[in-house]
Structure 1
Amino acid sequence: MTTEAPKLEKKLGAFHLWGIAVGLVISGEYFGWSYGWATAGTLGFLGATCLVAAMYTAFIFSFTELTCAIPHAGGPFAYASRALGRTGGAITGLATLVEFIFAPPAIALAIGAYMNVQFPSLPPKLAACGAYLLFMTLNIAGVHIAASFELVITIAAIVELLVFMAVVAPSFSWAHFTAMGWGHAPHFGWEAMGGLFAAIPFAIWFFLAIEGVAMAAEEARNPRRSIPIAYLAGVLTLVALAFGVMIFAGGSGDWTQLANLNDPLPQAMKRVVGPHSPWLSMLVWLGLFGLVASLHGIIMGYARQIYALARASILPAWLGTLHPRFHTPHRATLAGGVIGIVAIFADDIVSIHGQPLTATLVTLSVFGALTMYCASMISLFRLRRIAPELERSYRAPLYPFLPGFALVGALICLSAVIYYNFVLFLYYVTFILLAYLFLAGIKKTATETVKER
């Protein structure tokens, strides 16, 4: 008598997937993006955000074709493997893993800092570590439980952002928003363009990780129907929220007072309603939901990516097993969590090229994401040519122009991020190559050992 190996359970509908798509990203509406104002001014950052929003919209409308045609927990790794071979797939998978492994520590530390403000006796790193452990446990407990929780807190975070815009709207003025709009540049010109391109990573933070829905494709009840709905509704939701939050915050008063803060929304609301308003208390407390939604969703994403790479024998095989009761990738969840918790406690100790470790990890996440976006669009073009028989229930509109725009936009963004972070880019490339060679060496050794036996 044999026992069938556990499989990923197909329990997610379009509403769950939409919640994952928005929840993965929504912490980016709460913090991080305002540093783009310090780099480029409100108008320069608005230009950077327009470029990045157009790139992401084109990318998602195109990427959805791949997710529907190849519903696989590995997401971009599976598409690139089919189109570009095992090496191309492995490098794309590792780049995706860099994006999803290195973003959560920054979000967890933001949660810890927030909790420390409310409870000064609670050390921020301990709170961040506790958040990691809590949401790893919730992810292991079952995909339906995890996705339902993600949906609830995502909706709460969206409502809270809409309340923020409504409360500060009476004080909004375009004169506030456009004052010193090009930052350090006196007017639009080459200096202002330089600031615009330097601000691209902060604009990417508005949308980073939305593609993680692809990693839940094997757990969707009807992926070819539900994924297009979730992706397209998700990206449009995020575009609307990004522009709404940025414009209303910038027009509520002197934006330069918010440009270097981790909590621009509470500070913008404070000067409108006063420091003791119940609206401000609500914003501060419910603002935690946005951070929690993204941390929880990205843990779900990295676990599926590690699981898929291990199942394909790129990562060690023991990471590619599912919990016998909950049918979730428990070992992959724990492995990624160990890396994140180590990064949390190393934040004040380790510095790379003069940057705090957390800032470095965020930039590495952006490198990983942009690499994956380029590889995915190349895979889309190649699969149209070499696999015309592939079932495509959804096709990218305006092909080849829309995917081509997404590819060019991703290359422009990648070039800008490399230019302003060249040394870190060298670290990133070295890490990807060494990881690939190391893992390939392990697999070769294991294969030779089996043959000898």
Structure 2
Amino acid sequence: MKSNASYEDLEQHNSDTGRTDVTSERAHINHEREREWEGHGAKYHIRVYHLWAMGVGAVISGDIYGWQSCLEAGFLGACICLVIVTIMYILLGMTVAELASFRPDAGGPYTYVTALLGESLGFMTGLAETLKVVTVCSVILFAIGAYMVDITDSDPKWQPLWWLFFAILFTLLNVVGVKLSFAIQFAFTVLTLIVMAVFYIGAIPKFDFNKWVLGECDDNTDNSSSCPEKWLFPNGLDGLSAGLSFSLWFYLGVEEIPLVVGEHPQASSVIPAGMFSTIGTLMAVAFCTVLFSSSIEPGAQQISIDNSPLLTGYKTIFNHAHWFDYMCWVIVVGFIASCQSFLFCTGQLVYAMSRDQLFPQFLSRVHSRLGSPYIALITSAVVSYVILGVLYCIVENHDDAGSVLINMCLIGSLISYLIQCSSHLYLYWKYPDRTCYRSPFGIAGSIITMILCLIIYACIIKQGVKSIIYLYSVIAGLIFLGGGMFYHYAKVFWRRRSKSESRDTLIGGQEGKNEDT
């Protein structure tokens, strides 16, 4: 009933302001979509633990690959970065929970931004979200390829085949249907957390913070040549700014939970509970990952440039025991969990925007028997694979392709966060008496989040100015967003012109009839 009340508030406001072109049509589409999804039985498969599995599963690969670059700031710098982004995502998570409760929809962020701030900003949000989820899938495929090459000791040139195999696998898992996707996702998420817990427990006997972080070696037992460099805060503020953006990888994706919920009848209670449980789990995993990975061999400095940090940690702990190879394969499950979650969210987002006639309409086709948006899923997987392949060929050092993709993803994410927080401020101003779930941090949470987003965005721009590798990501992200907005405005222009011509023709025909009379 809470979400219904807020929905009526919104419809009344849009009626008063004359924004029927955006909202009335969308309201009709949303009700039709709700009946359609109800027919497929999708929304009744969702429980809080499903949201927890999807949220944690989407982000958990960030603790396996991607986070290690934040150690460029040193161990202390990485901890500072982690505290900052933890605060940001707690505030953002509660803001998103309120917005999604106010306007539950399969389109997630773009839907409530459109309803509150208008169609153009709504499309911009959806475009930024699309950039984020598609490039995240590309990053995960890249990481899987790197891990599989390491595990199988194969030639790196075979990486594109590993990407293709897993892209097809993830797509098939999502096409088979929502119920099976949630069941598989829950199993993968639990198994991945077990893998991480085994690493943390196994690292305890090898734990030596003084040696591997502070660089303090025992002269009686350690050779000076093998003593690692102190890696507490080596690069000062420059290192801190470089590590801040990569520390987002510990949480990026948790805000996709509204895309999983869609038009769930209990969205106002399910989304906040799912968000709280997900962020709580990710906080514990993130801090344990930084602490234990930095405090065992080969140390924080080497981990900061390692492409397979968790695999390196397992090698240190188990020293190639006879069952080590089996554990390496289990690590890949973490990537499966994340890519499964993100591809599901990508399909939801692309499907919803296509149904609302913002993307080409063929993308909204739903499988008649399985009930999944299979065209949106297949198209998203193909785009992710193509982006990864193109960057892999363009970037001279292939290992840098992952960093370029991560920064592209962050550019889309931060733009989306800024617009969503702006819509939250408008929501507080326009609907002070709304009855949906309310963030405990109020507008202060949105304002702080926006400030932190701008700081992180400045850090990314600074990296782009200093390094041609990161400049690629800035340029590619702006081309994607700029091209998308050009497509949108061109479509809006022709739509308005077509309506104007139709109206002129109708008026002209009516005047002709009047003259004849």
- Give the structure 2 partner of residue 416 of structure 1: 459
Distance 1:210 1:313 in 2: 27
After the TM superposition, which residues 5-404 of structure 1 pair with which residues of structure 2 at under 5 Å, given as runs? 7-8=36-37, 9-10=42-43, 11-37=45-71, 39-120=72-153, 123-176=158-211, 178-179=213-214, 191-218=235-262, 220=264, 222-253=266-297, 254-276=299-321, 278=323, 280-351=324-395, 356-388=400-432, 390-392=434-436, 394-404=437-447
Q: Which has the higher helix share?
A: 2
Question: Structure 1, unaligned stretches of length 5 or more?
Answer: none
Q: Tell me whether 1:431 sits opposite 2:505 in the alignment.
A: no
8 Å contact from structure 1 (residues 249, 265) kept in 2: yes
Letter in 1 for 2:341: G
1:296 CA displacement: 0.8
8 Å contact from structure 1 (residues 81, 88) kept in 2: yes
Which is further off, 11-20 or 428-437?
A: 428-437
In the TM superposition, what whole-angstrom CA distance separates every residue of 1:399-426 from its partner, at most 9, and x where no partner exists?
Answer: 2323322222222212212222254435
Distance 2:375 2:47 in 1: 25
Letter in 1 for 2:62: G
Give the 3-state SS of the residue equivalent to 1:327 in structure 2: coil
8 Å contact from structure 2 (residues 74, 231) kept in 1: no
Give the 3-state SS of the residue equivalent to 2:128 in structure 1: helix
- Give the structure 1 partner of residue 16 of structure 2: none
8 Å contact from structure 2 (residues 103, 111) kept in 1: yes
Distance 2:123 2:447 in 1: 23
Distance 2:233 2:392 in 1: 38
How many residue pairs match? The answer is 445
- Kindly indicate whether structure 1 or structure 2 has the higher relative contact order, using CA contacts under 8 Å at least 6 residues apart: 1
Letter in 2 for 1:7: E
Q: RMSD between aligned alpha carbons?
A: 2.7
Letter in 2 for 1:418: I
> Given the superposition, is the C-alpha separation of residues 263 and 348 from structure 1 closer, same or farther in structure 2, using an over 3 Å criterion?
same
Q: TM-score, normalised by structure 2?
A: 0.80
> Given the superposition, is the C-alpha separation of residues 353 and 360 from structure 1 closer, same or farther in structure 2, using an over 3 Å criterion?
same
8 Å contact from structure 1 (residues 343, 358) kept in 2: no
1:220 CA displacement: 3.8
1:359 CA displacement: 2.9
Give the 3-state SS of the residue equivalent to 1:349 in structure 2: helix
The structure whose Rg is larger is: 2
Question: Structure 2, unaligned stretches of length 5 or more?
Answer: 1-31, 217-227, 466-470, 506-517
Distance 1:282 1:243 in 2: 26
8 Å contact from structure 2 (residues 214, 230) kept in 1: no
Q: TM-score, normalised by structure 1?
A: 0.90
Which is further off, 365-374 or 258-267?
A: 258-267
Which is further off, 248-257 or 369-378?
A: 248-257
